[in-house]
């Protein structure tokens, strides 16, 4: 298949004069983009990039593209709602409402939805998304046998739990860390609502994660405790906040930047599970550089396509011990000569982490989903 050629070409004279006298009140779309490029920027941007595809070459990286010459711009997907999304242009930061082309909607079969917040895309005329760039990272869960990409192209995942209301779920924190680790994304642990408990009660759990080398931040969106530390860890990076509903993800983001003014939910008193105010992941710009990604709550989390034998390697504390087991294919469950079981018996490995690992490797499918 012939490779598309990219050319930088001059705008035609008639095009630029027409732009200048044209209707500049149009807020979005291709016309506006060209007019800005001509009037506001240097020589380089007087040219446009034209991607030329050989006749019949209508796929690049498995994704369909226009077979004729196209003018496209690059942008980052801020959020996705069905077939619509908001994309921020890479060059001038304008936000454009975009649609998925019909062909693009049908390409991904294993994926629940081909486009996700954080994706870099090429957009053509009338805000039609033409192609999605390969992802540098993605956080995915198993959604009834299909891949649900929660967010793409993030540097780190802030795993948020709450000390109370809802109760801390260490197993969920373990799973979210595994999902991040197995995708090559840096995990951080954040225990929120510290104001509701005696902070000392959190020390044992916080210690388990801290000993593995993960940053652990105890904080409270109400008192402001830990918010400065969060700020330092998140600035300049792309960070997805994940965790159960009601743990205070949106509240923490508001504490980090009050201008965000995100909706927060009252935790319902009867079940203390919280309601969902955030339904899809969305990128929010960080005042001091970088991005936050607010994500919908997860009650259960099954990492996508996790190979049971590879689970222990995503458990940082277990990984080095597992190498010492007598059998290389030890499941750390019933085998003799299991170094992991010995380590638990000797108090060198947290028993809860061992159970968490066995559960994940055993492929326990969560029965419910949050969205």
Ligand X SMILES: Nc1nc2c(ncn2[C@@H]2O[C@H](COP(=O)(O)OP(=O)(O)O)[C@@H](O)[C@H]2O)c(=O)[nH]1
- Binding region for ligand X (CB under 6 A): 192-193, 195-196, 220-222, 245-251, 264-267, 274, 277-278, 297
Q: How far is the CB of 204 from Mg ion (least distance, A)?
A: 28
For residue 163, which of 247, 86, 104 has the smallest C-alpha distance?
247
Of residues 267-306, those binding Mg ion (CB under 5 A): 278
Q: How far is the CB of 276 from ligand X (least distance, A)?
A: 7
Q: How far is the CB of 101 from Mg ion (least distance, A)?
A: 31
Q: Which stretch binds Zn ion (CB under 5 A): 130-138, 205-213, 267-275, 328-336?
A: 328-336
CB of 75 or CB of 297, closer to ligand X: 297
CB of 70 or CB of 267, closer to ligand X: 267
Q: Which of 168, 340, 343, 360 binds Zn ion (CB under 5 A)?
A: 340
CB-neighbour burial class of residue 3 (10 A; exposed 0-12, middle 13-18, buried 19+)? exposed
What spatial distance separates the first Cα and last Cα of the chain, rounded to whole Å?
41
Q: Which stretch binds Zn ion (CB under 5 A): 33-41, 170-178, 244-252, 324-332?
A: 324-332
Q: How far is the CB of 81 from ligand X (least distance, A)?
A: 18
Q: How far is the CB of 171 from Zn ion (least distance, A)?
A: 20
> Which residues are CB-contacts of 141 (< 8 A; sequence separation ≥ 6)?
147, 148, 150, 179, 298, 301, 302, 303, 304
CB of 157 or CB of 361, closer to ligand X: 157
Q: How far is the CB of 340 from Zn ion (least distance, A)?
A: 4
Do the Cβ atoms of 295 and 167 come closer than 8 Å? no
Which one-letter DSSP state was computed for residue 282?
E
CB of 32 or CB of 249, closer to Mg ion: 249
CB of 240 or CB of 340, closer to Zn ion: 340
Backbone angles phi, psi at 213, to 5 degrees: 95, 5
By CB under 5 A, tell whether 332 contacts Zn ion: yes
Query: How many angstroms separate the Cα of 62 from the Cα of each of 7, 130, 147?
Result: 22, 12, 18
Q: Which does 340 bind (CB under 5 to 8 A by kind): Mg ion, ligand X, Zn ion, none?
A: Zn ion
Q: Which of 192, 220, 250, 280 binds Mg ion (CB under 5 A)?
A: 250
> Which residues are CB-contacts of 192 (< 8 A; sequence separation ≥ 6)?
160, 161, 162, 163, 219, 220, 221, 247, 248, 251, 252
Site string for Mg ion, 196-235 (x = CB under 5 A): ----------------------------------------
Do the Cβ atoms of 326 and 342 come closer than 8 Å? no
CB of 277 or CB of 300, closer to ligand X: 277
- Inter-helix orientation angle 249-256/227-234, to 10°: 80
Of residues 320-349, those binding Mg ion (CB under 5 A): none
For residue 183, which of 149, 213, 209, 233 has the smallest C-alpha distance?
149
Q: How far is the CB of 326 from Zn ion (least distance, A)?
A: 8
Do the Cβ atoms of 93 and 40 come closer than 8 Å? no
Distance CA 289, CA 191 (A): 24
Q: How far is the CB of 187 from ligand X (least distance, A)?
A: 17
Residues found near Mg ion in the complex (CB under 5 A)? 249-250, 278
């Amino acid at each position: 298949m012939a490779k598309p050629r990219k050319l930088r070409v001059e705008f035609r004279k008639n095009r630029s004069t027409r732009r200048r006298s044209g209707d500049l009140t149009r807020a979005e779309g291709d016309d506006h983009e060209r007019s800005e490029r001509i009037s506001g920027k240097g020589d380089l941007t007087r040219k446009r990039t034209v991607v030329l595809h050989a006749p019949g070459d209508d796929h690049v990286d498995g994704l369909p593209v226009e077979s004729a010459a196209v003018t496209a711009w690059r942008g980052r997907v801020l959020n996705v709602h069905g077939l619509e999304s908001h994309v921020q242009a890479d060059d001038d930061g304008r936000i454009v409402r975009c649609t998925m082309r019909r062909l693009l909607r049908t390409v991904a079969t294993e994926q629940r939805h081909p486009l996700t917040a954080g994706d870099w895309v090429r957009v053509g005329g009338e805000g039609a998304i033409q192609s999605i760039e390969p992802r540098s990272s993605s956080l995915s869960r198993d959604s009834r046998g299909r891949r649900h990409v929660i967010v793409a192209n993030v540097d780190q995942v802030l795993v948020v739990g709450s000390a109370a209301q809802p109760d801390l779920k260490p197993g969920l924190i373990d799973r979210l860390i595994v999902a991040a680790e197995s995708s090559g994304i840096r995990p951080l642990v954040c225990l929120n609502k510290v104001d509701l408990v005696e902070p000392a009660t959190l020390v044992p759990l916080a210690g388990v994660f801290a000993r593995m080398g993960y940053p652990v931040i105890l904080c409270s969106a109400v008192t402001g405790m830990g918010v400065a530390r969060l700020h330092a860890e998140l600035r300049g990076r792309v960070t997805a906040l994940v965790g159960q509903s009601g743990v205070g993800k949106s509240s923490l983001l508001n504490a980090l930047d009050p201008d965000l003014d995100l909706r927060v939910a009252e935790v319902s008193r009867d079940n203390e599970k919280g309601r969902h105010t955030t339904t899809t992941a969305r990128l929010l710009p960080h005042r001091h550089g970088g991005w936050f990604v607010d994500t919908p709550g997860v009650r259960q989390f099954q990492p996508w396509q996790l190979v049971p034998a590879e689970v222990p390697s995503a458990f940082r504390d277990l990984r080095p011990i597992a190498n010492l087991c007598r059998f290389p294919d030890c499941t750390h469950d019933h085998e003799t000569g299991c170094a992991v079981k010995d380590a638990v018996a000797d108090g060198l490995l947290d028993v809860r982490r061992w159970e968490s690992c066995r559960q994940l490797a055993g492929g326990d499918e969560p029965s419910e989903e949050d969205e």
